[in-house]
Amino acid sequence: MADNAKIASTVIKEIGGKENVTNAWHCVTRLRFNLKDRKLAQVDAIKDIPGVMGAQFSGDQFQVIIGNTVGDVFEEVENVLGGTGSASGSTEKESIVSKLMDIISGIFTPILPALAGTGLIKGLLALALTLHWTTATAGWYQVLYMISDSVFYFLPFFVAVSATRKFKTSEYLGLSVAGVLLYPTMVNAYNAISAGKKVAAITLFSGVNVPYVNYTSSVIPIILGVWFLAIVQRWVKKWMPDAITMMFTPMVTLVIVVPVTLLVFGPLGTYAGNGLAVGISWLFTHAGPVAGLVLGATFPLIVMTGMHYAFVPIVVNNFKVLGYDATIFPINFVTNMAQAGSAFAVAIRSKNAATKQLATSSGISALLGITEPAMYGINLKKKKPFYAALAAGGIAGAFVTFFAVKAFAMAGLTGLTALPVFISAKTPMNIVWLAIGITMSFVLSFIFTLVLGFEDDVVAAPSATKPVKKVAAADKTTVGGATILAPVQGTLEPLSSVADDTFAQGIMGKGAAIIPEDGEIVAPISGKVTVLPDSKHAVGITGDDGTELLVHVGIDTVELGGKFFTAAVKAGDHVTAGQKLLSFDLKQIKEKGYDPTVMIIVTNSNDFTDVLPMNESGVIYPKEQLLVAIK
């Protein structure tokens, strides 16, 4: 797998070091940074880092697109930073819109896994009820329903934690504010009033009554409350004596913040959220297919900026006020299927084996709701498939809006696994219209891509792909390129078959895989050893001809910490092809449950016209021709 620590340290270095980072977090596919000085970020250098799919500024936020392994890389980023940021502010003035989008994204992206997991359970429960597999009174149903509803019901607590981190204030004070909003006195009073009962008022400041508002599942009130908390706490700390600040700063802060939140920010946030939900619903009800067409055709462009997470509070608020979302979720679903359709069309039409492989794997990823590999790796790169996806997404967006397709719970990744959240016993046709919409989107984008065509990658001459068995000279070139030799004895496998998406999707570069039969790795090319981690599970070599090669032994074997590996060289050594690099205990690695597959990757594949295997399958021996990198 990719060396996440190296990716993280290199990214931090190229964005100006940890001193230039004011905040860092991640979403499903990308690292997100606030920087003091954006001019220090070396965008092109970051794009060239193995394991990085792309990098860009979106407003005042710098994003590094990683893909499915972003969580692992972010753990290493936090290790480098020593937290989620090392400074308190930016040296550059941020626009109000950029700052708002940055705040929303930073607050909601950490919560998404919890919302996604519980939302999917709720969707599956709806499916179980619809198919009469269970009843609402069954014990297991009630337990699972509590699980599915818990995050949404107590959402102010979750938002409080991420908001305090974003506003850089005390998490526990933020939770205290949320606790007041959801205190039984408030909840019970609201429920009683809703049932037509009279409830005694809570009066403050000689006649000002506290409004009884339903804060369950709310987001805007607690965000405003925590924002105010951060301001008040910093103000109190400035004048509170150090000897008593630990006790009295929290006390004074809460005594100020909670009443203001109950009287001002809570009701204001609730009314604003209700108005927003009703307004968007009105727009889609009256503008209908036109609104769906516009949003469907432009949603991938919003995803490219990384600002699609700014829609999350709108969606959450729709669920609270309306009980469903008939805007963002359905349209996001069909646009994801459009990206998948275009990618699969490229896989069908392309004559290039590597392109077929990447298009297929990224198309599957898009079907599951992660579209960045398809967008950046295939569709956007070839342009016309991306245009086809935009057109298909717009048409399908108009369709699902016309039939008012609704999502009844959060689902996180909007892909095929999210289908259950669109199921409702009360509106059984909802899932049918969605199924037609996503099928339409996939098929139209597929057809549009085939009709529009695209510029295919150059395919090497047949002579370059003929198997050549034994090679005596390590520096031998073929068709103006470099020959890469097998580093180990074993059975050839296509790189796309390995159980690690970073390698299988070609994110790190093109190459081949070998299931080893012994435990000795030799140099595939002559050059300088540039990478040799302490775990000794991988070796990077920069060839004398400029070829950059990575030999990676096993999947997740970095976790062994060097156990069962012995290096025969060190970083900085010059090696010749066929020279022993390292040895490993194949038996022990297997017994520990690790996949020992050896990956051989040309990490600067973009510098070559193509990187092709000399054979697709069969037994291979050390120093046999494995790959040819064609100039």
Which positions are annotated as active-site residues?
27
Single-letter code of the amino acid located at 397: G
Give the pairing type, strands 21-26 and 574-575: unpaired
In order of 126, 135, 151, 320, 419, the CA distances from 141 in angstroms are 10, 7, 17, 22, 19
Phi, psi of 414 (to 5 degrees): -90, 80
Q: Rounded CA gap, 193 and 199, in Å? A: 7
Answer yes or no: are the C-beta atoms of 102 and 61 closer than 8 Å. yes
Answer yes or no: are the C-beta atoms of 488 and 516 closer than 8 Å. yes
Give the pairing type, strands 510-516 and 548-555: unpaired
| Residue at token pair 């199921």 | 423
Tokens representing 507 are 């994110």
Burial grade of 491 (CB within 10 A; 0-12, 13-18, 19 or more): middle
Phi, psi of 623 (to 5 degrees): 80, 5
Answer yes or no: are the C-beta atoms of 257 and 232 closer than 8 Å. yes
Q: Rounded CA gap, 80 and 301, in Å? A: 32
Tokens representing 566 are 């012995």
Tell me if residue 6 falls in helix, strand or coil. helix
Give, for 554, the enclosing helix (H) or strand (E): strand 548-555
Tell me the β-bridge partners of 515: 491
DSSP 9-70: HHHHHHTT-GGGEEEEEE-SSEEEEEES-GGG--HHHHHTSTT--EEEEETTEEEEE--TTH
In order of 214, 266, 281, the CA distances from 322 in angstroms are 14, 19, 9
> Which residues, 6+ apart, have CB-to-CB distance to 13 below 8 Å?
none
Neighbours of 323 (CB within 10 A): 10
Q: Rounded CA gap, 78 and 73, in Å? A: 9
Tokens representing 477 are 């070139």
Answer yes or no: are the C-beta atoms of 296 and 394 closer than 8 Å. yes
Answer yes or no: are the C-beta atoms of 123 and 423 closer than 8 Å. yes
Tell me the β-bridge partners of 34: 23, 61
